[in-house]
Structure 1
């Protein structure tokens, strides 16, 4: 079919055309190249846009358990050292357990895929991928910020709290240690204690 099409000369004479002068291997090579060119036009093209790998710092908030217990134990050990105070029990009321923010590496990748078929239909697809990895140094995550929990109230039950001067010292020490108002601290004498 292609031989007949190329065989006809525009002048009408029967002189052999350039196509006829080519051997079969060269003709096949030209047909393959043209076919590949047409296939490249039809095949969907993929274009990668905004492929970013960045070291953007963001934070992941992680809650710690038993923070209330450790804060109460710390306060108990300090309050028992006050003159006139015996055994102490502390109960804390917290709004939350606090948060720790860690450094992360963020990688954002966007791909715009444009496809067209042989009927002229076009299709655009946008793929977005966001990856966050915890930044680690020497096997431990890098801590950016640690927020202590908000203290709503403190109850201190202590031997020696019947004495108003000792009770006032317990309130003052607790309010100072936790940086809270003294009205958030209640001190009660221990049952059976002096």
Structure 2
């Protein structure tokens, strides 16, 4: 009985070792497949379309709030209201997996005539890693205009300081900036 127990134990141990080796091989080969899929390059620029434009307006709001907070720190400016317009939403460039397959066949009929057919199959998919598309580059929108309404803008020196601050912070040309004094109410 001891002999049979030893043989069975050895067989179980051997089976466990084989299972561990097979599992390790499966893990390594699946990781190679994933890394190969994520290296695909040719890319195409796609504009991200927000579900309800909240992404676009949120970006404008964030810029307006930061700009207003910075301008209000300038001595003499007082309370401000800032409006910013942007060209578009963020543009993203996604990695694409592109492949083209050509298959050519020649056929000869019984009368001696030949016919050549060519079949082309194109595949163009966005590379996905996990559940997210692989982004190569992301381009922020350009500022098309800034309106600053400031309490202290009736003073020409303050108005010039606000103007220069906006021009410097956003790196935009002067024609896109308007600074006006805040009205009463």
1:102, distance to aligned residue in structure 2 (A) = 1.0
TM-score with structure 1 length normalisation?
0.60
User: In the alignment, is residue 90 of structure 1 matched against residue 83 of structure 2?
Assistant: yes
Q: Residue 137 of structure 2: which of 145, 165, 168 is its match?
A: 145
Q: CA deviation at 1:124?
A: 1.2
- Corresponding residue of 2:44: 59
Work out the number of aligned pairs and report it.
Answer: 140
User: 1:116-162, CA deviations, whole angstroms, 9 ceiling, x for partnerless residues?
Assistant: 22122211121212211111223221211122233333222233322
Secondary structure at the aligned position of 1:113 is classed as strand
Q: Which residue of 1 aligns with 2:147?
A: 155
What are the ranges of 5 or more consecutive residues in structure 2 without an aligned counterpart? 1-36
Give the Cα separation in 2 of the matches to 1:108 and 1:76: 49
Contact 1:160/1:166 (CA < 8 Å) preserved in 2? yes
- For residue 114 of structure 1, what is the aligned residue in structure 2? 106
Q: Is the 8 A contact 1:73 1:90 kept in 2?
A: no
Gaps of 5+ in 1: 1-52
Larger deviation, residues 72-81 vs 104-113: 72-81
CA RMSD of aligned residues (A): 2.7
1:101 equivalenced with 2:90 (yes/no): no
Q: Which moved more, 1:118-127 or 1:147-156?
A: 147-156
Contact 2:101 2:120 in 1 (8 A): yes
What is the deviation of 1:57? 2.2
Which contiguous aligned blocks of 4+ residues in structure 1 show a shift greater than 6 angstroms? none
For the residue of structure 2 that corresponds to 1:85, the secondary structure is coil
TM-score calculated relative to the size of structure 2: 0.62
Indicate the structure (1 or 2) with the bigger Cα radius of gyration.
1
Q: Could you tell me how far apart the structure 1 residues matched to 2:184 and 2:157 are?
A: 19
